[in-house]
């Protein structure tokens, strides 16, 4: 007779083994898999009892789909990693503590009882992980390409670290994503050395492995751009002449980015899952009708 343990009993037994075997509470997730095969077979369910946590849940669930991320949090013993580890081991199922720790660094207060922009939370979380000396594989180098349309010359500005790469909607872009058409040239405040013409700029991304892309859905008047996209393949996102595959999609449903609801679709253990807070549903394949896509977590091929 086969006895299937409940999620609760798994959680308790894991907690005890952590207490007994490891003084500093760092758990090796990679080796836990064998002992508790049911524990990590799907993304963690995260409660949204305060009705505002969905923006943070969708980001945390997206990051936890990355094997390197799960491995790194198990190896580091900081307050933030400890909480993320507890979420991974389903000892806690709320992101409230993560939100509290991420708050305050850059003036954003994610601890308030108010729905926030998932993109801002994502940036702050990566910055905070960076401050904890986390092995960042999501951080990307970017530099600005400055272009003078008079002289037809391009110049590179100094390299900088960027966390989220913004893509802007071209006018009349229709419902097909052409990612390269979203790398628009923007007016710069700098002038050309040769002709004093206003330079145009766009950021160029050098990504090691993972890249967070934000489809900029906040319009000039603060309105949400509701362009719907259909039919893009999860394994062939071409951006800046580099090929990426989709690891996770954060969707926003609603009329303003700070209200409505956030969900995510994550590729976890080679399966596609829909994460709607604590409702985790296995999908038969990649949902290519990503009408409400807001953030994409991409892996470089």
Residues that bind Zn ion (CB under 5 A): 148, 150-151, 192, 194-195, 197
Nearest approach, Cβ of residue 234 and Zn ion (Å)? 41
Nearest approach, Cβ of residue 160 and Zn ion (Å)? 23
Please say which residue, 32 or 144, places its beta carbon nearer to Zn ion: 144
Please say which residue, 149 or 289, places its beta carbon nearer to Zn ion: 149
Nearest approach, Cβ of residue 192 and Zn ion (Å)? 3
What is the end-to-end Cα distance of the chain in Å, rounded? 44
Nearest approach, Cβ of residue 185 and Zn ion (Å)? 14
CA distance 278 to 91: 14
Please say which residue, 76 or 200, places its beta carbon nearer to Zn ion: 200
β strands within 149-292, DSSP E: 153-162, 164-167, 186-191, 198-206, 210-215, 237-239, 242-253, 261-268, 271-276, 279-282
Please say which residue, 7 or 150, places its beta carbon nearer to Zn ion: 150
List the one residue out of 33, 163, 56 whose CA is nearest residue 109: 56
Residue 35 contacts by C-beta under 8 Å, 6 or more apart in sequence? none
CA distance 5 to 103: 37
CA distance 239 to 160: 19
Percent helix, strand, coil in the chain, to 5, is: 25, 30, 45
Please say which residue, 149 or 175, places its beta carbon nearer to Zn ion: 149
Nearest approach, Cβ of residue 143 and Zn ion (Å)? 19
Please say which residue, 154 or 281, places its beta carbon nearer to Zn ion: 154
Distances (CA, A) of 135 to 25, 59, 132: 19, 18, 9
Nearest approach, Cβ of residue 145 and Zn ion (Å)? 14
Residue the block writes with tokens 């491995």: 71
């Amino acid at each position: 007779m086969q006895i299937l343990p409940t999620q609760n009993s798994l959680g308790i037994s894991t907690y005890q083994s952590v207490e007994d075997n490891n003084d500093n509470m760092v758990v090796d997730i990679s080796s836990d898999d064998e002992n508790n095969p049911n524990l990590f077979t799907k993304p963690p369910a995260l409660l949204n009892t305060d009705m505002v946590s969905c923006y943070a849940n969708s980001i945390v669930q997206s990051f936890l789909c990355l094997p390197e991320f799960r491995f790194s949090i198990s190896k580091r013993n900081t307050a933030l990693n400890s909480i993320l580890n507890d979420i991974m081991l389903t000892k806690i199922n709320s992101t409230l503590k993560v939100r509290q720790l991420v708050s305050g660094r850059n003036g954003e207060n994610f601890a308030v009882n108010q729905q926030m922009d998932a993109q801002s939370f994502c940036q702050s979380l990566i910055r905070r992980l960076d401050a904890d000396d986390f092995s960042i594989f999501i951080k990307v180098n970017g530099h600005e390409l400055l272009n003078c349309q008079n002289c037809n010359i391009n110049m590179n500005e100094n390299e900088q670290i960027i966390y989220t790469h913004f893509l802007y909607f071209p006018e009349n872009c229709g419902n097909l994503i052409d990612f390269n058409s979203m790398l628009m040239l923007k007016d710069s405040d700098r002038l050309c050395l040769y002709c004093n013409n206003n330079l145009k700029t766009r950021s160029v991304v050098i990504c090691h492995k993972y890249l967070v892309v934000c489809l900029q859905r906040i319009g000039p008047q603060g309105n949400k751009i509701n362009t719907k996209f259909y039919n893009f393949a999860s394994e062939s996102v071409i951006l800046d002449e580099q090929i990426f595959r989709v690891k996770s999609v954060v969707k926003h449903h609603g009329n303003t980015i700070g209200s409505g609801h956030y969900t995510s679709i994550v590729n976890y253990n080679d399966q596609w899952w829909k994460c709607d807070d604590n409702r985790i549903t296995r999908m038969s394949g990649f949902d290519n009708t990503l009408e409400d896509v807001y953030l994409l977590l991409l892996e470089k091929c």
